[in-house]
Chains A and B, each alone.
Chain A
Amino acid sequence: MQTAAISSSRETPPPAARETTAPAAAPSPPRPAPLLRMARRHRGEIRAVLVGALSVAAFVLAWHLLTTYRVNIYVRFMNVPSPADVLESARTAFATATFFQHVAISCRRILYGFLLAAALAVPLGLLMGRFKLLSEIVFPVSEVLRPIPAIAWVPMAIMLWPTNEQSIVFITFLGSFFPILLNTLHGMATVDPVLVRAARCLGATETATFREVYLPATLPQIFTGLTVGMGVAWVSLIAAEMISGQFGIGYFTWEAYSLVQYSDIALGMLAIGVLGLASSWAIRLVGRLLMPWSAR
């Protein structure tokens, strides 16, 4: 069905070219309008977008109904702000610079913590995958530290670093470090040995093999690690900001609770959700640019 649509659309030249070559062409045989043809070609994507929009709309509707009727079925929706409340508080928040400052500060912390983690964990994982001794040295320590949740690091981080800002970045860093490291390691372990041997037979040196085979072969796993790491970075950041911050979207959300501005809580949560989504999209985009061979 879909392949038929694709092949038929390929046969027809682009409408612009047709018009320039034969401006006074007689009424051409019935052919679907360009818009319709585009719709056919992207049928799958269009459906996904429509279904997605519908699902979000259903969620908002359920939220609206639960809050306007103040439903109380063990879970209590009496104090939960309605979508309209949140929209209202968003309008006031967007009018001032403070909200965006909170967002910007959180983003900066994520960027520092995450980039630092990626810059350390990826090379470390690659080297650990290549040199067994290094792996044997690092692995036991990392295995003990790994299960400690980032929130548990908050008191220690405050003691370790001179400023609050640094300790929050440190916690964000810790959150994303281990997923990136483990995925990179796993990627190194699953490099096809035949490819390594093929490279060696073509005259590749040890360094060239590392650069030309191990690194690109591990990239997909590295990007899985980066996506997971980014998710954990946000979790850790928000926790850290709620406990020890003075700025940031996590602090904004917690402060709203202290000040009994319930609609701001939902606004903060939604902002975190959107930011998390945007950052994983960004990673996926970079991944697609770096790995054109896996783009389908």
Chain B
Amino acid sequence: MDKDQDKILDEVTTGEYKYGFHSDIESEQIQKGLSEDVVRIISAKKNEPDWLLEFRLKAYRHWLTMKMPAWPNLKIPVINYQDIIFYSAPKQKPKLNSLDEIDPELKRTFDKLGIPLEEQKHLAGVAVDAVMDSVSVKTTFREALAEMGIIFCSFSDAVHEYPDLVKRYMGTVVPYTDNFFASLNSAVFSDGSFCYIPKGVRCPMELSTYFRINAANTGQFERTLLVADEESYVSYLEGCTAPSRDENQLHAAIVEIIAEKNSEVKYSTVQNWYPGDKDGKGGIFNFVTKRGMCRGENSKISWTQIETGSAITWKYPSCILRGDNSTGEFYSVAVTNNHQQADTGTKMIHIGKNTKSTIVSKGISAGKGQNSYRGLVKILKNASNARNFSQCDSLLLGDKCGAHTFPYLEVDNQTAIVEHEATTSKIGEDQIFYCNQRGISTEDAIGMIVNGYAREVINKLPMEFAVEAQKLLQISLEGSVG
């Protein structure tokens, strides 16, 4: 590529992070650091029942025995857990009776992010749970959904209002012993979303959680639990942003999904945490455990993720296909630009008969970004007629970045068919030239080509968010191609 093109590519790839502002909202915080006392304080602040405190303490004690995983293809600086504030909540009246009582600054923050909390103003057909720092601040359309028997509320509310459901499902898919960050989350999680779709109900609107980190020096540890009872359907979306800060912030979340017989869950993520600046300063450490269990026959869980943010991403949204004829899907686009690192992928565990899984992963590396796909497809002995197809492609924009593929295929059944394909290539100069020849600028050509490359995944998103994801993809790659 010639100099001019380099320059254009450079311009295209130095887009600014547009959610980097921070809001002056008074927040209530606890002391820095982590101890059994801190766990007790968090639980007390949330006025939790004893069983939940017990769960937290067991998790905390287990966490103390664990080490940070060393296997990801990531360079993670040492994290000082005594330097993190584990609980921060926007100060507000203890009980919110109407929207007017929300701190206006907080409302402005979500307006700025394009997430209006007033229901009438909101995108038609999307219910939102807004989570600021560690606490759910407002859930829209809660009443309307309740009429259909759908429960959509903050995790804390669920603990008080639906303790039996929470007790029955929490930790069944991601046990508190699961991994280092899952144990940490289980000990200190502050809030998150809870969703239950009753038998036979198709949720009529998209449910979404919007996560925002605002306060400095805090970690965010939310927990989402989503239960789709028999014959139900729900499409769920989460988005996330954070202010630009020089220091790294830790985000360690858990998402658990349970899909009962004949139910279907679509879970989409547009992850746009602050990625750090051009030189790799600051940014969120996004260490997330997401897992779904297809418990019943014919159930289906589909993960779609657009990962453009975070300094470091470590997440593997997975499916345990326990029910016969159940289906798991994973569609992912992960972008790493500048100094971003991502080690992401999925696990498909085939236990039931005739289970199917599909994996489509599109990695895009630019700048000095390092992008790894890591995936496990495991066919257990009794999972007869299991099928898996995986396609993991990497696109490289620039000669300082890296793209890596680490699939694990473990097959213990003769009737299984497991196929994995992967390719790695650079953006085609002939493609760019072809666009140029038709009068399209290099900048637009790259956007087009990258979006075309990611289309298969973006198409899986709900319509409103597909457009947003496309723009996001273009912005996050600005300044990356060389």
Check if A and B associate.
no
Name A's B-contacting residues (CB within 8 A): none
